[in-house]
Amino acid sequence: MTPPIIPSHLPPQRLLLVDDDLVLLETLQEVLGAEGFKVTAASSGEEADEQLRAATPPFDLVLTDLVMPGKTGMDVLKAALTHNPSCTVLVLSGYGTVREATEAMDKGAYGLVNKPLQLEAFRQTLRRIVERAQLIRERDLLRTRVRELEERIGRLEAIQGRMEMLAQRMDPRTPEASQIQLLKDLKARGILDEGHFETARKSLLAGWKP
């Protein structure tokens, strides 16, 4: 038995499925659910737009028919990328819609799948999409972590700057200055390591009143 695209030990990806063909919509919803996706179905572009607006968190993947009455797959594509620029959009294209499918790709769609669907080729496309989504998620997490580290470094540098200003302003005759000199002597003799020296120095400076 072929394992599902998203293993059971991983959280399911949130997928919006949009198609005005109700039979295909129901069939694909069952197929995608069995592959580990958390599927929300919409039978029109208008309903898809409502789902995209209400989704918290936003959808990871949108799979939409291209040609529909009212709001089309192009409208769904635009709305999906507006609400979540990292969203992956895959369009379903019937024969005779090559120009529209090419336009969708130009406007940010990941790819297209021709109708009628070839199930195995469709599954392989979904596997590539899941791998791409995982890479995007890891990239976003790394960017967040880098920002957090940069902010932490900035705070530490600001604290260090204030401590150095205090040290420069201290009268060498004050008790704190004498104690810091003692700490420096202990550090020079190897009795205090760098970490303990800095902790003790900051403690003295924090309690000093100019």
The count of other CB atoms within 10 Å of the CB of residue 102 is: 13
Give yes or no: residues 133 and 194 share one domain: no
The residues, any chain, with a CB within 8 Å of residue 127's CB and separated by 6 or more, are 5
- Residue whose C-alpha is closest to residue 66's, from 46, 43, 94, 41: 94
Mean pLDDT, the chain, integer: 82
Give yes or no: residues 88 and 185 share one domain: no
Higher pLDDT: 154 or 168? It is 154
Give helix 73-83 / helix 45-54 axis angle, nearest 10°. Answer: 10
- What local confidence, expressed as pLDDT, does residue 103 receive? 87
Give yes or no: residues 103 and 192 share one domain: no
Q: Are 52 and 31 in contact (CB under 8 A)?
A: no
Give yes or no: residues 191 and 115 share one domain: no
Q: Is 11 helix (H, G, I), strand (E, B) or coil?
A: coil
Task: Over range 123-147, report the average pLDDT.
Answer: 83
- What local confidence, expressed as pLDDT, does residue 12 receive? 77
Give yes or no for residue 18 having a pLDDT over 50. Answer: yes
In 59-80, which positions are buried (b, 16+ CB within 10 angstroms) versus exposed (e)? bbbbbbbbbbeebbbbbbbbbb
Higher pLDDT: 61 or 163? It is 61
Any idea what the CATH number is for the domain that residue 134 is in?
A: 3.40.50.2300
> Would you say residue 152 lies in a domain?
no
pTM of this prediction? 0.65
Give the count of domains, the chain. Answer: 2
Q: Residue 202 is part of which domain span?
A: 170-207
> Would you say residue 150 lies in a domain?
no
- What local confidence, expressed as pLDDT, does residue 178 receive? 65
> How do residues 51-62 score in pLDDT, each as one tens digit?
999 998 899 899
> Would you say residue 38 lies in a domain?
yes
Domain end marker among 93, 125, 143: 143
